[in-house]
Chain A
Amino acid sequence: DQQVKQNSPSLSVQEGRISILNCDYTNSMFDYFLWYKKYPAEGPTFLISISSIKDKNEDGRFTVFLNKSAKHLSLHIVPSQPGDSAVYFCAASGASGTYKYIFGTGTRLKVLA
């Protein structure tokens, strides 16, 4: 049972345009969400996070939106750059006191120059 899903395995976007990566979750106990970027043969790198008490968090070109009623979050990258080409994972964790971060299946983003 995949509790965190990224339904688009891949996405291609033109350089300078917006990239929107989506993530859905099923467990209503999740209250903290993170996005990671992964290049081949490297470990995931943290990008941005959001707590369930917020619906938006922004950091430079990256913005994460959380819709708790829909159990959906999205990552917006504006403007997209070729260096953003990577696999993006969303991750979710539950109530404080647990250490379980559940990762989504990943979306491969390709930014075309």
Chain B
Amino acid sequence: DTEVTQTPKHLVMGMTNKKSLKCEQHMGHRAMYWYKQKAKKPPELMFVYSYEKLSINESVPSRFSPECPNSSLLNLHLHALQPEDSALYLCASSTSGGAIGELFFGEGSRLTVL
């Protein structure tokens, strides 16, 4: 199984809503990532979890709250988002303990904030 599965594929939410994006991998990877990608831009790193602990937070606003319940799951909790947060949110995982190794990406969750 070489897949990273993200749900939902599409999400529309209002600025007062609370929602969550979910990500799952069963490759035994111990590093998991959230990236944000706007149209015609490269993926931008948001968070990295290593061995279920948050190791990198790229100064992301607190309205985005990551959670890693176990080594296979990664959530991104969303609350009080702004329209400019509309983007494709990509989850990824990697096997290695450092930066050497490929990232496996999910198909992404396309978020629209009204």
Contact = CB atoms under 8 A, between A and B. Distances in A.
A46 B2 CA distance: 12
Contacts of A89: 42-43
B21 interface: no
Interface stretch (A12-20, A62-70, A76-84, A95-103): A95-103
A98 B42 contact: no
Nearest to A46: B102
Contacts, number: 73
A51 interface: yes
Given A101-B45, A104-B42, A32 B100 contact: yes
Interface in A15-64: 32, 34, 36, 41-46, 49, 51
Contacts of A95: 98-99
B43 A97 contact: no
* Chain B contact surface mostly: strand
Interface centre among A94, A97, A103, A105 (most CB of B within 10 A): A103
B55 A34 contact: no
A96 B104 contact: no
* Chain A contact surface mostly: strand
Contact of A100 (B6, B40, B45, B104): B45
A44 B50 CA distance: 21
Contacts of A93: 99-100
Interface of B: 4, 6, 31, 33, 40-45, 48, 50, 55-56, 90, 92, 94, 97-100, 102-108, 110
Given A34-B102, A96-B99, A104-B42, 15 more contacts: A36-B103, A41-B107, A41-B110, A42-B108, A89-B43, A94-B99, A95-B98, A96-B98, A97-B98, A98-B98, A99-B33, A99-B98, A100-B48, A101-B99, A103-B44
